[in-house]
Amino acid sequence: MRGRKEAAFDVVIYNAAARDYRACMAWSDRILYDMCQGSPRHADPARVHGKLSLIGRSYATRVERLLESDGQEQQGGALRRWREHFVGAAGTLDRIVRDVRKIYVPLSEDRLRRTARLHGELCGLMQRADGYYHNE
């Protein structure tokens, strides 16, 4: 890992975060997981749009702001373009999601490595969307 510092793992902080997750966040995640389990594929535009909307709003990802606007789009135009991108890449997205679902907790070093690889694949898929930019 050139140029990166290795972060120390603090089990006390991790356990506190896990307790907070179970107490406050697990229920909202369950809604998204149920939606994804009920509609695991990404070829149906309505289902892809629903997932994008829930992820964007629930997790404050602001995914719609990762696409440059041409100034002519109506409200919701960025989500429409994401939807079209993901529907067009449904096979790749479905494979990534299927592989992620095979990873279970507790995370081991190997599982973390696989998770990071799949995250990189998803980021790469997103970067191929028309108008994608990343403002650092």
For residue 84, pLDDT over 50 is answered with: yes
Amino acid at 33: Y
For residue 121, pLDDT over 90 is answered with: yes
User: Looking at residues 18-33, what average pLDDT do you find?
Assistant: 83
Give me the pLDDT at residue 88, please: 93
Q: For 45-79, how does the pLDDT look when each residue is reduced to its tens digit (9 = 90+)?
A: 999 988 888 877 766 666 767 777 666 656 667 77
Three state DSSP letters for 94-117: HHHHHHHHCCCCCCCHHHHHHHHH
Residues in the chain: 136
- Overall pTM surpassing 0.85 (yes/no): no
Q: How far apart are CA 97 and CA 36, in angstroms?
A: 10
For residue 4, pLDDT over 70 is answered with: no
Report which of residues 130 and 53 the model is more confident about.
53
User: Looking at residues 88-101, what average pLDDT do you find?
Assistant: 94
Rounded (to 5) percent helix, strand, coil in the chain: 65, 0, 35
Give the Cβ contact number of residue 126 at 10 Å.
Answer: 18
